[in-house]
Amino acid sequence: MKISEKRYSELEKLQGILNYSFKDTELLNNALTHTSYVKGENRNAVHNERLEFLGDAVLELIVSEYLFVNNPNMNEGLMTRVRSRAVYENALFDAAREIGLGGYLLLSHGEEHTGGREKPSILSDALEAVIGAMYLDGGIEPVKKFILGFAVSSINEAVKTVSVKDYKTLLQEHVQQSHTGNLEYDVVSVSGPDHKRVFTMQVSINGEAFGRGQGGSKQEAGQNAAHATLLMLGALKPDTSEEKQ
């Protein structure tokens, strides 16, 4: 579909916001073309679903690399959860809304009238399509710069909030991935007065005793027992920066 002068001018403005100049402006235009637009007189237009597919993969790669490089003590399971939180729909929607991406979308009249320019699913998909278009147009370096420009804050926030201190979850994942066997937590003692109990928990894997932990609640004791077990198994480095709950 031939790009009109008005549309070309709009896309130039967006490229300024993206801080990237497309060699093939049609790629950017396709990335902003919703499937609802491709019907009737616009049936020859190319919608953005294929670019969205590519952009999703590129986004995951860049975020994965960032996590891998910047969090050397983080295991695969935790990195997966952090990545999922960092690139989930609302995070992408916020980034798309921040750059005003909705104003550049090509939508059907029906989608326009039902608020399509503000729908989280449409905006997040469009942002992924723009990432795919940028990757095809300029390769990995400019798209990496673009992604980290909006994603680093959400990645770092995800690192803080996604069970970073949940040693029981980390241990469960380690046991499952290594096919070690059944994981159990047992209270081996309770001491102290009623208002200040101290629980001691023991971790067992396939009946074999591993780490112990104490705490003012069963949850805290279990976390500390899991932490001790992870250290025993070599699944957590002794000098890790993570703090026990």
pLDDT of residue 242: 43
Q: Is residue 100 a part of any domain in this protein?
A: yes
Q: Are 104 and 15 in contact (CB under 8 A)?
A: no
Neighbours of 203 (CB within 10 A): 27
| Residues forming a β-bridge with 184 | 204
Last-in-domain residue among 161, 188, 223: 161
pLDDT tier at 243 (50, 70, 90 boundaries)? very low
Pair (153, 130) in one structural domain: yes
**Amino acid sitting at position 237:** K
Question: H-helix or E-strand containing 49?
Answer: helix 49-70
Pair (74, 91) in one structural domain: yes
CATH number of the domain enclosing 219: 3.30.160.20
pLDDT of residue 23: 97
CATH number of the domain enclosing 13: 1.10.1520.10
Q: Are 129 and 14 in contact (CB under 8 A)?
A: no
Pair (85, 153) in one structural domain: yes
Last-in-domain residue among 161, 184, 214: 161
Share of the chain above pLDDT 70, in %: 93
Pair (110, 136) in one structural domain: yes
Q: Are 167 and 230 in contact (CB under 8 A)?
A: yes
Instruction: Average the pLDDT over 152-159 and give the result.
Output: 86
The residue to which tokens 């469960």 are assigned: 172
Instruction: Average the pLDDT over 50-58 and give the result.
Output: 97
Nearest to 175 by CA among 212, 243, 229, 245: 229
Q: Is residue 119 a part of any domain in this protein?
A: yes
- Looking at per-residue confidence, does 98 or 82 come out higher? 98
Pair (129, 179) in one structural domain: no
Q: Is residue 239 a part of any domain in this protein?
A: no
Domain count across the chain:
2
Kindly tell me if the per-residue pLDDT of 180 is higher than 80.
no
Tokens of 90: 């609302």
Cα–Cα distance, 225 to 245 (Å, whole number): 11
Tell me if residue 198 falls in helix, strand or coil: strand
Domain residue limits at 210: 167-233
Tokens of 112: 């326009």
Nearest to 130 by CA among 166, 91, 90, 92: 92
Last-in-domain residue among 108, 137, 161: 161
pLDDT tier at 241 (50, 70, 90 boundaries)? very low
Pair (154, 176) in one structural domain: no
Pair (151, 205) in one structural domain: no
Pair (17, 117) in one structural domain: yes
Pair (114, 181) in one structural domain: no
Pair (192, 150) in one structural domain: no
| Residues forming a β-bridge with 191 | 198
Burial label for 231, CB within 10 Å (0-12, 13-18, 19+), is: middle
- Report, as residue numbers or ranges, the catalytic residues: 56, 128
